């Protein structure tokens, strides 16, 4: 083996070690979890994830709920290959707290022309807040490849 090759291999090994330590440190010491620490769906013994999601509030009733003056909570359940609900109407200038999860696979929840781009992970609850300040129609897109009809996994948000 060439001397230079050996040096490169050593550098690569040391870097890999540092990255592994960083992952372990961020998980165990800093308690960083993906996608957030907003909770999990607890699957009871003998139950499937689908049953557990539909028995865990607020996911037992997906939809848009008024929580205050110009404040809403949007409960979204993603599944292959649809969002529930898929067509949502939001009053202009409302702050929407999106709470989302997935029933089966990893999906994306991206609202085009906004910074809302969240990952829906089976059994994990993701929360994201956004204020809709511009009226119009926004397309919801699944941007995590989730199989055959991934391209058909869309929805619409109408802000007015
Ligand atoms: Cu999807």
* pLDDT tens digits, one per residue of 91-114: 999 999 999 999 999 999 999 999
What is this structure's pTM? 0.75
Distance CA 90, CA 102 (A): 22
- Asked if the model's pLDDT at residue 58 lies above 70, the reply is yes
111 Cα to the center of ligand 1, angstroms:
13
For residue 87, give both structure tokens.
């067509």
133 Cα to the center of ligand 1, angstroms:
27
Region of residue 43 (phi > 0: left; psi between -120 and 50: alpha; otherwise: beta): beta
Closest by CA position to 127, among listed 74, 86, 71, 53 = 74
Distance CA 117, CA 137 (A): 17
**Mean pLDDT score of the chain:** 92
105 Cα to the center of ligand 1, angstroms:
7
Per-residue CA distances from 16 to 19, 26, 31 (Å): 5, 15, 21
144 Cα to the center of ligand 1, angstroms:
6
């Amino acid at each position: 083996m060439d001397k230079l090759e050996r040096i490169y291999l050593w550098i690569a090994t040391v870097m890999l070690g540092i990255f592994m330590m960083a992952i372990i440190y961020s998980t165990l010491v800093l308690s960083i979890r993906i996608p957030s620490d907003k909770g999990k769906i607890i699957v009871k013994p003998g139950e499937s994830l689908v049953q557990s999601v539909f028995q865990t509030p607020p996911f037992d009733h997906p939809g848009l709920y008024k929580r205050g003056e110009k404040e809403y909570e949007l409960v979204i359940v993603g599944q292959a290959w649809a969002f529930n609900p898929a067509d949502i109407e939001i009053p202009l200038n409302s702050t929407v707290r999106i709470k989302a999860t997935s029933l089966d696979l990893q999906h994306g929840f991206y609202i085009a022309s906004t910074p809302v781009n969240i990952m829906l992970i089976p059994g994990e609850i993701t929360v994201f807040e956004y204020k809709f300040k511009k009226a119009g129609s926004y397309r919801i897109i699944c941007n995590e490849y989730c199989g055959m009809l991934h391209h058909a996994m869309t929805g619409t948000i109408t802000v007015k």
